[in-house]
A and B are shown apart, each in its own frame.
Chain A
Amino acid sequence: MNKQLMIILKKRYGLALIVISLLILVFYGYLGINDVNRWKAMESYYDSEQYIKDLNEIADEENPRYKGLSVNERLALDKKEGLSLFYQTNSYDEQGKIISDSDKDQPYYSMYFNENSLLLIAVVSTIGFFLFFADLKTSFNEFLFSLGVSKRRIYYSKLVLIALPILLSILLAKILFVGIITTGIPAEYVNISMTDLAKNILASWTTCILYFFVSVFIGLVTGNMLLGPLTAFGFCVSLEFFITGITNAWYYFTHATTDVYITGKFFVYTVTKDPISTVPIMLAVVSSLLLFVLGAILFPSLTLEKRGNYLLFDKLKIPVIVAMTIYVPIVLVFSQGVYYGEDQPSPIPALLIYGIITAMIGTYLVFRKEFQEWFNQKQQIKDSIRIE
Chain B
Amino acid sequence: MKIENLQKGIDQQDILQDINLTFKQGEIVGLIGRNGSGKTTFFRSLAGHYELDQGKIFINQEDIQINKILRQKIFYIDEQYNFLSSYSLNKLLFFYQHAYAGFNKEKYLSLTKKNKLHPHLKYRAMSKGMQGLYKTILAICSNAEYLLLDEPLDGLDVIVKKNVLGILLDDVSENNRSIIISSHNLNELESIIDRALILKHTRIQLDYHLEALRENARKIQLVFKTKKVPTLVKENSQLLHFQGRVITAVFENYTEELKTLIQAEQPILFEELPLTLEDVFEANLANKNEVNSLGGVIL
Contact pick for A138, options B49, B71, B83, CB 8 Å: B83
Q: Which of B85-102 contact A (CB under 8 A)?
A: 86, 91, 94-95, 98-99, 101
Which of B74-82, B127-135, B157-165 is the interface stretch? B74-82
Instruction: Beyond A304-B49, A304-B81, A369-B11, list 16 extra A-B contacts (CB 8 Å).
Output: A4-B101, A8-B98, A139-B81, A141-B49, A142-B81, A146-B47, A146-B48, A146-B49, A146-B71, A146-B75, A146-B76, A147-B71, A150-B68, A303-B49, A305-B49, A307-B81
Q: Mark A269-311, 1 if CB is under 8 A from B, else 0.
A: 0000000000000000000000000000000011111010000
Instruction: Given A142-B78, A303-B51, verify A147-B86 contact (CB < 8 Å).
Output: no
Tell me, rounded to whole Å, the shortest Cβ–Cβ distance linking A43 to chain B: 52
The docked-state distance in angstroms from the alpha carbon of A305 to that of B51 is 9
CB atoms of B98 and A4 under 8 A apart: yes
The docked-state distance in angstroms from the alpha carbon of A233 to that of B68 is 36
Q: Does A30 contact B (CB under 8 A)?
A: no
Q: Does B112 contact A (CB under 8 A)?
A: no
The docked-state distance in angstroms from the alpha carbon of A73 to that of B174 is 95
Could you list which residues of chain B lie within 8 angstroms of chain A, going by C-beta atoms?
A: 10-12, 41, 44, 47-51, 68-72, 74-76, 78, 81-83, 86, 91, 94-95, 98-99, 101
CB atoms of A301 and B51 under 8 A apart: yes
Q: Does A11 contact B (CB under 8 A)?
A: yes
Q: Does A93 contact B (CB under 8 A)?
A: no
Residues on A with beta carbons closer than 8 Å to the beta carbon of B69: 148-149
Residues on B with beta carbons closer than 8 Å to the beta carbon of A12: 95
Tell me, rounded to whole Å, the shortest Cβ–Cβ distance linking A184 to chain B: 43
CB atoms of A8 and B99 under 8 A apart: yes
Could you list which residues of chain A lie within 8 angstroms of chain B, going by C-beta atoms?
A: 4, 7-8, 11-12, 138-143, 145-150, 301-305, 307, 369, 373
Residues on B with beta carbons closer than 8 Å to the beta carbon of A303: 49-51
The docked-state distance in angstroms from the alpha carbon of A4 to that of B72 is 12
Contact pick for B83, options A4, A139, A149, A305, CB 8 Å: A139
Tell me, rounded to whole Å, the shortest Cβ–Cβ distance linking B126 to chain A: 17
20 contacts between A and B (CB under 8 A): A4-B98, A139-B81, A140-B83, A142-B47, A142-B78, A142-B82, A143-B82, A143-B95, A146-B47, A146-B48, A148-B68, A149-B69, A302-B51, A303-B49, A303-B50, A305-B10, A305-B41, A305-B49, A305-B50, A373-B12
Tell me, rounded to whole Å, the shortest Cβ–Cβ distance linking B51 to chain A: 4
| CB nearest neighbor in A for B72 | A148
Tell me, rounded to whole Å, the shortest Cβ–Cβ distance linking B67 to chain A: 9
Residues on A with beta carbons closer than 8 Å to the beta carbon of B99: 4, 8, 143, 146-147
Tell me, rounded to whole Å, the shortest Cβ–Cβ distance linking A380 to chain B: 14
Residues on B with beta carbons closer than 8 Å to the beta carbon of A4: 98-99, 101
Contact pick for A8, options B47, B81, B95, CB 8 Å: B95
The docked-state distance in angstroms from the alpha carbon of A141 to that of B51 is 13
Residues on B with beta carbons closer than 8 Å to the beta carbon of A141: 49
Contact pick for A11, options B48, B49, B74, B91, CB 8 Å: B91
Instruction: Given A11-B94, A148-B68, verify A143-B74 contact (CB < 8 Å).
Output: no
CB atoms of A142 and B68 under 8 A apart: no
Residues on A with beta carbons closer than 8 Å to the beta carbon of B78: 139, 142
The docked-state distance in angstroms from the alpha carbon of A134 to that of B150 is 25
Residues on B with beta carbons closer than 8 Å to the beta carbon of A139: 78, 81-83
Residues on A with beta carbons closer than 8 Å to the beta carbon of B91: 11
Residues on A with beta carbons closer than 8 Å to the beta carbon of B70: 148
CB atoms of A138 and B50 under 8 A apart: no
Residues on A with beta carbons closer than 8 Å to the beta carbon of B51: 301-303
CB atoms of A142 and B83 under 8 A apart: yes
Residues on B with beta carbons closer than 8 Å to the beta carbon of A7: 98
Q: Which 7 A-B pairs have the closest CB atoms?
A: A303-B51, A139-B81, A148-B72, A148-B71, A148-B69, A140-B83, A304-B49
Of A8, A143, A149, the most chain B CB neighbours within 10 A belong to: A143
The docked-state distance in angstroms from the alpha carbon of A150 to that of B98 is 16
Contact pick for B74, options A146, A301, A302, CB 8 Å: A146
Residues on A with beta carbons closer than 8 Å to the beta carbon of B68: 148-150
Residues on A with beta carbons closer than 8 Å to the beta carbon of B12: 373
| CB nearest neighbor in A for B99 | A147
Residues on B with beta carbons closer than 8 Å to the beta carbon of A302: 51
CB atoms of B95 and A145 under 8 A apart: no
Residues on A with beta carbons closer than 8 Å to the beta carbon of B101: 4
The docked-state distance in angstroms from the alpha carbon of A369 to that of B51 is 20
The docked-state distance in angstroms from the alpha carbon of A142 to that of B99 is 12
